[in-house]
């Protein structure tokens, strides 16, 4: 056992870490995922070595920044748990996400890094909150016959981010994304149309 009593983390380390995260939000949010990390360090007022000590890889920095942003989205999902109309709750939640993304456009590029690889592990807790809340709503939608079987919270997130990501900033960005997203949500209904040619289908 020995003494596991570690020394308290140094105050300057904590402060610099926070400074770096703030700087990263700004610089990466503006310059996209290829922004210079030296610029981030400079904006934070620390040396480049300090940045790399705290965040050994570019991904580490993205993950940390992104986690902070995501907490808010998890809260929204929670707040919609008891909503009376599940399908509209889903729609509302997705729209909120889009609105949120809208303000962080520059971070979009980072999504391709963040939403991939082993982010499941990195975001297990947050992801759990969101997934649980959304799946809860989906289950109620299935029960009420509004939503087909086999849809997961991940499907929704995936599609939403995909649509946000693919569309370049522009005057009609949001309305276009929402329009396509609504079509997708409409498609969540139980076989709105026979899904594939092989099905005899009702006349």
Interface with a copy of itself (CB under 8 A):
34, 85, 87-88, 91, 109, 111-112, 115-117, 146, 151, 155, 158-159, 161-163, 165-168, 176, 179-180, 182-189, 191-193, 195-197
Nearest to DNA of 53, 105 (CB atom): 53
Binding map of DNA across residues 22-61, x = CB under 7 A, - = no contact: ------------xxxxxx-----xxxxxx-xxx-xxx---
Comparing CB distances to a copy of itself, the nearer of 81 and 179 is: 179
What is the rounded distance in angstroms from the CA atom of residue 27 to the CA atom of residue 36? Answer: 8
Give exposure, 127-139, as e/b (b: 16+ Cβ within 10 Å): bebbbebbbbbbe
50 binds, among DNA, a copy of itself, none (CB under 5 to 8 A by kind): DNA
Quick one: 7 or 120, whose CB is closer to a copy of itself?
120
Minimal distance in Å, beta carbon 180 to a copy of itself? 5
Q: Least distance from C-beta 112 to a copy of itself, angstroms?
A: 8
> Residue 203 and residue 199: Cα distance in Å, rounded?
11
- Name the minimum Å distance from CB 19 to a copy of itself: 28
Closest CA to 160 of 76, 101, 104: 101
Q: Which partner from the list a copy of itself, DNA, none does 54 bind, CB cut-off 5 to 8 Å by kind?
A: DNA
- Provide φ and ψ at 129, rounded to 5°: -60, -50
Q: How far is the CB of 45 from DNA (least distance, A)?
A: 7
CA distance linking residue 193 with residue 174, whole number of Å: 28
Task: Find the shortest distance in angstroms from Cβ 197 to a copy of itself.
Answer: 5
Chain contacts with DNA (rule: CB under 7 A): 6-13, 16-17, 34-39, 45-50, 52-54, 56-58
């Amino acid at each position: 056992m020995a003494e596991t009593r570690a020394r308290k983390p140094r105050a300057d380390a904590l402060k610099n870490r926070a400074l770096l995260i703030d700087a990263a939000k700004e610089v990466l949010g503006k310059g996209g995922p290829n922004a210079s990390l030296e610029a981030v360090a400079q904006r934070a007022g620390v040396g480049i070595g300090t940045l790399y000590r705290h965040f050994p890889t570019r991904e580490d920095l993205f993950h940390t920044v992104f986690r902070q942003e995501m907490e808010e989205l998890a809260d929204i999902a929670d707040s919609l748990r008891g909503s009376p109309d599940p399908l509209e709750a889903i729609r509302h939640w997705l729209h909120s996400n889009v609105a949120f993304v809208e303000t962080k456009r520059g971070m979009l590029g980072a999504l391709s890094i963040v939403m991939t690889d082993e982010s499941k592990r990195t975001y297990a807790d947050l992801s759990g909150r969101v997934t649980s809340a959304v799946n809860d709503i989906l289950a109620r939608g299935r029960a009420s016959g509004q939503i087909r079987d086999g849809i997961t919270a991940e499907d929704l997130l995936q599609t939403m981010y995909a649509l946000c990501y693919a569309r370049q900033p522009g005057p009609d960005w949001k309305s276009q994304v929402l329009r396509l997203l609504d079509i997708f949500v409409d498609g969540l209904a139980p076989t709105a149309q026979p899904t594939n040619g092989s099905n005899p289908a009702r006349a």
